[in-house]
Chains A and B, each alone.
Chain A
Amino acid sequence: TQLLEQSPQFLSIQEGENLTVYCNSSSVFSSLQWYRQEPGEGPVLLVTVVTGGEVKKLKRLTFQFGDARKDSSLHITAAQPGDTGLYLCAGARWTNAGKSTFGDGTTLTVKP
């Protein structure tokens, strides 16, 4: 059973465009993390959100945690080719602290 659904699965856009990717679940998470993974490498942590409704910004990236802590979104403004990669969300729960459940990711391609 996939607890975290990410959409879209694939996204191809032109440099300068904006985009949003989503991470949805029917389960409540105590924290949710977003990672970026490049081919042949491990995921690199971008952000951790822990409070319902929380919004965090990292340069051109904006992350939001849903009020009910079941979903999250990642918005990228003015995408650049360097943003290309696999974006993964991962949730952890109090009853299973530290053992993250990952979605299958969104593969983003930004064309120059």
Chain B
Amino acid sequence: ETGVTQSPTHLIKTRGQQVTLRCSSQSGHNTVSWYQQALGQGPQFIFQYYREEENGRGNFPPRFSGLQFPNYSSELNVNALELDDSALYLCASSSDPSSYNEQFFGPGTRLTVL
């Protein structure tokens, strides 16, 4: 069974640029959630995708957008990057979007915005 994978591992961008982060969910999982974890803080929920549809969104501006593909992998896109977007971006997959189902996290993508 393959776990959650994310790419790239690290990324450096400059202010105003755009970035795309990728996540492959665990085998058999149809739900992917994205989180932003700033240094010294807990993960903050960005949005969740279930069967290719957005299924809930946290307090993030529209320049944070996403996609889920038929194989349930997912992308997080961030436009017009700001310095405060520097963080560890985590994706988590689960077998169902219900609150009881365990989420399994990937290792994250470390984004640095200069």
A-B contact count (CB 8 A): 76
Stretch in A59-67, A70-78, A95-103 touching the partner: A95-103
Contact code string B98-114 (vs A, CB < 8 Å = 1, else 0) = 11111111111010000
- CB of B43 within 8 A of CB of A48, answer no
Interface size of A in residues (CB-CB distance below 8 Å):
29
User: A98, B42: Cβ atoms under 8 Å?
Assistant: no
- Contact between B100 and A31, CB atoms less than 8 A apart: yes
Q: Flag A32-45 by CB within 8 Å of B: 1 or 0 each.
A: 01010000111111
Most buried by B among A33, A44, A93, A98: A98
B74 located at the interface, meaning its Cβ lies under 8 Å from any Cβ of chain A in the complex: no
Indicate whether B4 reaches chain A with its CB closer than 8 angstroms: yes
**Contact in complex: A98, B43 (CB < 8 Å):** no
B90 adjacent to A48 (CB under 8 Å): no
Taking a contact as CB atoms under 8 Å apart, the answer to whether A92 and B104 are in contact is: no
Q: Which residues from chain A contact B90 at a C-beta distance below 8 Å?
A: 42-43
Per the 8 Å Cβ criterion, residues 69-114 of B in contact with A are: 90, 92, 94, 96-108, 110
The answer to whether A97 and B97 touch across the interface, beta carbons within 8 angstroms, is yes
A48 contact set on B, CB distance < 8 A: 100, 102
How far apart are the CA atoms of A44 and B101 in the complex, in Å? 14
Question: Taking CB as reference atom, which chain A residue is nearest B108?
Answer: A42
**Which chain A residue shows the least CB distance to B99?**
A92
Tell me, in angstroms, the Cα distance from A10 to B54 when the chains sit together: 36
Interface residue ranges of B15-70 to A (CB < 8 Å): 31, 33, 35, 40-45, 48, 55-56, 58
Task: List chain B residues, Cβ under 8 A from A103.
Answer: 42
User: A98 and B105: CB pair below 8 A?
Assistant: no
Contact (Cβ within 8 A) B101 A98: yes
Chain A, range 74-112, C-beta contacts under 8 Å to B: 88, 90, 92-94, 96-105
Report the bound CA distance from A93 to B48 in whole Å: 15
